[in-house]
């Protein structure tokens, strides 16, 4: 297990899926975490699962699309744990819909949550990290920003995540002199609760297995698959890596069988 002893991390979208798994592993490795998300009850349950003692986890229920949320998360980390070392910029939304049917409201939802949310979260975090002499940011991007997938039309979602990928390279250059690294993982289909936001439980059970064969390695991803990559990029073992985009996709970007 990598050591994150005495490190302080913020994880957006930390109430379930990939974010929750990362938070759990960070606490196990010695860190204190602030988890953000929109659902207070879900965050409270996640906090209980992550650290039953409650001493190494704090929660903030707020929408990352709202500009005040980023600073509120940073303030909570500083007030409760004394500073900030790691940002897991993970919050996102997903809902496939044909391009010709996407409304301006839906477009804004994707861009505000995925791109603007990550942009200003990274900005608030970087300012706090400068006070500590450095830090590291790991973002969740998407395979869909690298390739278009006909079965899941996602133009606005993909465009927002392509922005996240570009942001990674730009911030790597701008923040390097502050000793702040930033990298992004680009997952393919990972079995998380996000699919339950636009399908019922029966549909999820039916549809998700059909994507196993989409991945050359023959199975969908699990939160732990992506969490392992995120933790590596956040760790000192990755101290010479910044501005990188790491596909965590069961081989999808490599080509087709």
pLDDT value at position 250?
94
pLDDT value at position 216?
86
pLDDT band (50, 70, 90) for residue 111: very high
Among 81, 94, 157, 214, the one annotated catalytic: 157
Domains identified in the chain and CATH numbers? 8-248 (3.40.50.720)
Check whether 197 has a pLDDT greater than 70: no
Per-residue tokens: 191 = 């079995």
Dump pLDDT digits (tens) for 18-46.
Answer: 999 999 999 999 999 999 999 999 999 99
Check whether 86 has a pLDDT greater than 60: yes
Dump pLDDT digits (tens) for 180-194.
Answer: 999 999 999 888 766
157 in active site = yes
Q: Bigger pLDDT: 257 or 234?
A: 234
């Amino acid at each position: 297990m990598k050591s994150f002893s005495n490190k302080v991390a913020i994880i957006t979208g930390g109430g379930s899926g990939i974010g929750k798994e990362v938070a759990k592993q960070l606490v196990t490795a010695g860190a204190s975490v602030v988890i953000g998300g929109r659902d207070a009850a879900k965050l409270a349950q996640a906090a209980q699962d992550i650290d039953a003692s409650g001493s190494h986890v704090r929660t903030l229920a707020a929408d990352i699309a709202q500009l005040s949320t980023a600073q509120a998360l940073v303030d909570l980390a500083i007030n409760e744990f004394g500073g900030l070392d790691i940002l897991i910029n993970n919050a996102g939304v997903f809902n496939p819909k044909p391009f010709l049917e996407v409304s301006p409201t839906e477009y804004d939802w994707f861009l505000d949550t995925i791109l603007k949310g990550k942009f200003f979260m990274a900005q608030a975090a970087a300012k706090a990290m400068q006070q500590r002499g450095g830090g590291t940011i790991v973002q969740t991007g998407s395979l869909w920003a690298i390739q278009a997938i006909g079965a899941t039309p996602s133009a606005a979602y993909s465009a927002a995540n392509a922005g996240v990928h570009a942001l990674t390279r730009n911030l790597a250059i701008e923040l390097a002199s502050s000793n702040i690294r930033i990298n992004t993982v680009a997952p393919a289909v990972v079995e998380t609760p996000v699919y339950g936001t636009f399908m019922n439980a029966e549909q999820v059970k039916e549809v998700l297995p059909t994507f196993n064969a989409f991945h050359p390695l023959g199975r969908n991803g699990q939160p732990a698959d992506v969490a392992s990559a995120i933790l590596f990029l956040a760790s000192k073992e990755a101290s010479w890596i910044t501005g990188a985009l790491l596909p965590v996709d069961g081989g999808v970007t490599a080509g087709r069988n």
